[in-house]
Structure 1
Amino acid sequence: MKNVIGFASDNASVMMGEKGGVMALLRKENPSLFVQGCVCHSIALCASNACGELPNRVEELARNIHTYIMNSPKRFTEYEEFQKFTEAPLHRILHPSFTRWLSLEEVVKRVLEQWPTLKLYFTSAALEDKMASASAILQELHNPVIKMYFSFLAYILPAVNKLNLDFQATSLRIHKLRTSISSSVKGILSNFMKADKLKSSDLTQINVHDPSNYLSLGDIYRGAITESIFLEHSSDISNRDLEQFHVKTLNFYVALSKQMLKRFLSSNLFNNLHLLEALDPSNVQQGKPKSIIPLAVKFPNIIEKSAYEDLNREWREIISCELPALSVASEEPENSGMLLH
């Protein structure tokens, strides 16, 4: 019990019982117990909150396509024939989940992959089935702005999912998580914030609430494919629809950034992760940090204060040694199978 580190869900103090529940009982045995909310759940909440800024019709299109084709064996078989005719990959249409927001990336990519085949199929379905649902889907598939929303999500969601996969990796990466979080958040901010506002090394000092820090609507980056769709169909897109697209995607960025800054950069986890960077062999080779004590004091249940001097002496001997060059393995996190296939 003395070496326990606890992990709980997003509302840890409520669900574990800060006053009389499991958390309180564990802290009787180990007062230095650290309780951190479920990171993957927090990331999903960030994505969910941001997606709420986009028009409902984007998710509804993905859901309606799945319902129309996959809920009927006859239509599914017919769609496979259209895939073969258009030489599209024989992939199933995926279903967007209400609870697994991070699976949305695979749903979006699948719809974009099948877009030409879907247009051809629903053109036929609208004529032969004469169903209003098929005609409504076809109308959305012919709308370039809707396709731009899908392409925008296909661009930005991988950045969110990468962070999620970093936390789910089975290899040891805890000493790199702070850098991973900072890089992900800064990458998202760079899409819509002025460059001079991002120069601060302390991301918590960046004010995402101030619109004067944002790029102009037309200069905000929404992905290369999104830009190419607009250039191809610019004459078919009204100024009103384009402005709404610009505003909605900006609101997505702002909501996502606010949530990530709140849930990660302002959390105890992020504040303490920099101490674990001392465990990175590449940092050890560079002789940093000079002392391991800032990390040791966070774990009084593992090492007593009386052992600090011996611990730091050994640490300083390690960083003073001539160590052989490191062979750095791939930094790609292992996929834990969270995404849909």
Structure 2
Amino acid sequence: MTGRNNSVIEILKREYNLPNLILIRCICHSLQLAVSHASESNLPRNIEFLIRETYNWFSISPKRRDEYKALFQTINCGDEPLKILKVCDTRWLSIEPAVLRILAQWNELKLHFSLAREKCYTAGLLWEMYNDEGNRLYLCFLKSILHDVQIGIKVFEGENIDPVKLLETLMTLLRSVCVRIIIPGAATTDKDFLTIKVEDHLDPVAHLGHLFESHASNSNLSPQAISNIKKRCIDFSVKLVQEIQNRIPSNYEILAKVTLLSPENTLKQIKDPHALVGLARELGFDDQKTDKIVQQWKTIQFIEWETAGDSVKFWAQVLKYKNAAGVNTFRELADLAIAAMSLPHSNAEVERLFSVMNTVKNKLRNRMCSLTLNSIIMIRNQLKIKKKNCHNYVLPPEVLKKIKKNCQTFKTNRNTIYIIITH
């Protein structure tokens, strides 16, 4: 898909004469793969088995769920237990919540499987795993580090996000993983964190999170066992950093250029006059428009703008700007900014559209044609953007006129109005 010679993007560039296509890898998918690869190569396989089989144990048996619910309520004064979640490879946010819920109910789950182990071999295996404090330490470590990953994923899959702040989110994630294991001061700038070989700067007394350290100090494990677990957790962190470093450089370059268009950078009095030339060329702006962009970039800070905080609102204001002659003297610069901030950085929106499509065209409506399906999806999407629904949407007058022309209305004895559409 993304090779150098025969990938989709290279074929489109070569055969369809589209030299300005930009390849942007989905950040959410990249982070998911980074976590998966780090887990496969460094964490014990029984951790994945523990998470997966705990869900499977309850998902296939209402009786087991009822028994566990009664046990949990007895221990916790009537409180309801949290549902054990499934870890799905195609859902970016499924790992951390599953770990979180198992940790929150660790003792109750341990007791439940202890009672059920004599009846089922799987329950016996799960009880042995829950009885092993080492597995709990691994999950404590994962809870902490996956929380940071999930924050980054949530930002990139969000709908109303500020594009110029995405770079900071990405680098914050990389820094948070690095500083857990490297010597303080080994990396300070973004370039350092993107290129540092963490295995050469490991902190001999790395702190793996308060939850991990507190459980390690209170566990009945031997110092050697705790040391081995720490080593594997550090190896996981090293692998995760390496995976992120390998996957995000291209995204970093694009996001760094988009960050230049933040209101703060745009309205600086002293700035590089040619900072946007590379971005303009990548987005397909010709030399004439690029020259105008450079000139507009030099003078935009001399205008007083009302909304200089939110980047989207700021550039929307620039796009609508008119001088005394009614001419927008920053049109090319605004077009560049809107084009750059419109670049997608995850597949989340596409996945949402697929979900809507599956809802609209279901098994009962499987003969729906593509034109109708596309129209319904577009209507739903626009209603969502405008925050409208069937309760507060008002039909335009011209639509009502068309309906009246093609409809007949009458009242029954019960004052019920029927509408018959005539073709």
TM-score by length of structure 1 reads: 0.81
- Evaluate the alpha carbon distance shift between residue 108 and residue 46 of structure 1 in structure 2; reply closer, same or farther with a 3 A threshold: same
- Evaluate the alpha carbon distance shift between residue 163 and residue 287 of structure 1 in structure 2; reply closer, same or farther with a 3 A threshold: farther
Pick the aligned partner of 1:275 from 257, 271, 283: 257
2:181 alignment partner in structure 1: 192
Query: 8 Å contact 1:285–1:319 — kept in the other structure?
Result: yes
Query: 8 Å contact 1:61–1:140 — kept in the other structure?
Result: yes
What is the alpha-carbon distance in structure 2 between the residues aligned to residue 75 and residue 201 of structure 1? 50
- Evaluate the alpha carbon distance shift between residue 25 and residue 173 of structure 1 in structure 2; reply closer, same or farther with a 3 A threshold: farther
Residue 146 (1) aligns with residue 130 (2): no
Q: Secondary structure in 2 aligned to 1:195?
A: coil
After TM superposition, give the deviation of residue 206 of structure 1 in Å: 1.6
1:156 alignment partner in structure 2: 145
What is the alpha-carbon distance in structure 2 between the residues aligned to residue 106 and residue 119 of structure 1? 19
How well do the aligned residues superpose, as a CA RMSD in angstroms? 2.7
Structure showing greater Rg: 2
Residue 263 (1) aligns with residue 255 (2): no
Over residues 95-154 of structure 1, what are the superposed CA-to-partner deviations in whole Å (9 max), with x where a residue is unaligned? 22345464111110110122122122222223xx43332222222212222111111111
Residue 214 (1) aligns with residue 214 (2): no
Q: Secondary structure in 1 aligned to 2:43?
A: coil
After TM superposition, give the deviation of residue 85 of structure 1 in Å: 1.9
Residue 92 (1) aligns with residue 83 (2): yes
Over residues 240-261 of structure 1, what are the superposed CA-to-partner deviations in whole Å (9 max), with x where a residue is unaligned? 3212201110110010000111
After TM superposition, give the deviation of residue 328 of structure 1 in Å: 6.0
Query: 8 Å contact 1:148–1:229 — kept in the other structure?
Result: yes
- Evaluate the alpha carbon distance shift between residue 294 and residue 32 of structure 1 in structure 2; reply closer, same or farther with a 3 A threshold: farther
Q: Which runs of 5+ in 2 are unaligned?
A: 312-347, 352-423
1:314 alignment partner in structure 2: 296
Query: 8 Å contact 1:10–1:39 — kept in the other structure?
Result: no
- Evaluate the alpha carbon distance shift between residue 320 and residue 101 of structure 1 in structure 2; reply closer, same or farther with a 3 A threshold: closer
Residue 44 (1) aligns with residue 35 (2): no
Over residues 146-172 of structure 1, what are the superposed CA-to-partner deviations in whole Å (9 max), with x where a residue is unaligned? 111111111001211222222212124
What is the alpha-carbon distance in structure 1 between the residues aligned to residue 270 and residue 171 of structure 2? 19
Greater RCO (CA < 8 Å, at least 6 residues apart): 1
- Evaluate the alpha carbon distance shift between residue 72 and residue 205 of structure 1 in structure 2; reply closer, same or farther with a 3 A threshold: closer
Q: Which moved more, 1:164-173 or 1:186-195?
A: 164-173
Over residues 69-104 of structure 1, what are the superposed CA-to-partner deviations in whole Å (9 max), with x where a residue is unaligned? 222121122112123223344322112234546411
Query: 8 Å contact 1:48–1:101 — kept in the other structure?
Result: no
Query: 8 Å contact 1:193–1:214 — kept in the other structure?
Result: yes
- Evaluate the alpha carbon distance shift between residue 23 and residue 40 of structure 1 in structure 2; reply closer, same or farther with a 3 A threshold: farther
Q: Which moved more, 1:251-260 or 1:239-248?
A: 239-248
1:242 alignment partner in structure 2: 226
Q: Secondary structure in 1 aligned to 2:125?
A: helix
The residue identity in structure 2 corresponding to 1:104 is I
Query: 8 Å contact 1:278–1:289 — kept in the other structure?
Result: no
Q: Secondary structure in 1 aligned to 2:248?
A: helix
Query: 8 Å contact 1:12–1:37 — kept in the other structure?
Result: no
After TM superposition, give the deviation of residue 12 of structure 1 in Å: 8.4
Pick the aligned partner of 2:217 from 195, 216, 231: 231
1:122 alignment partner in structure 2: 113
After TM superposition, give the deviation of residue 201 of structure 1 in Å: 4.3
Query: 8 Å contact 2:2–2:8 — kept in the other structure?
Result: no
Q: Which moved more, 1:88-97 or 1:74-83?
A: 88-97
- Evaluate the alpha carbon distance shift between residue 157 and residue 10 of structure 1 in structure 2; reply closer, same or farther with a 3 A threshold: farther
After TM superposition, give the deviation of residue 322 of structure 1 in Å: 4.4
- Aligned pair count reads 309
Q: Secondary structure in 2 aligned to 1:34?
A: coil
Percent identity, please.
23
